[in-house]
Amino acid sequence: MINPDQNPEFVNSFLDYSITILNKSPNSVKEYNYDLNMFLKYMKIHFKLTNEKDFKKISIKDFSLDTLKRITLDDIHAFLSYLALNQR
């Protein structure tokens, strides 16, 4: 289930766009929300915007567009590496 109160507004806008304009299924949009939440929580750790390491305790509500614009391809590679090493 998606709880829009826990998302930054830009995530909710993307999810709304995906379900209405792109005609994505509710399950796809739910998975997009899950993946984006995980990515943004990782970025908060990666950019040292939180000392929390437990993803369940990290809030992304305050993740700003300015911080989003700082993300580089190297940061995305670091996230993919994190996923590869922690999915075992």
What pLDDT shows up at residue 2? 80
Tokens of residue 62, six digits: 């305050």
Buried b (16+ CB within 10 A) or exposed e, 59-75: ebeebeeeeeeeeeeee
Per-residue model confidence as pLDDT tens for the chain (88 residues) = 688 899 999 999 999 999 999 999 999 999 999 999 999 999 999 999 999 999 999 999 999 999 999 999 999 999 999 999 987 5
What pLDDT shows up at residue 87? 74
C-alpha 77/C-alpha 83 separation (Å) is: 10
Q: Kindly report the pTM of this predicted structure.
A: 0.91
What pLDDT shows up at residue 88? 57
What pLDDT shows up at residue 4? 87
In contact, 15 and 70? CB cutoff 8 Å: no
Q: Count of CB atoms within 10 A of residue 36's CB?
A: 18
What pLDDT shows up at residue 6? 95
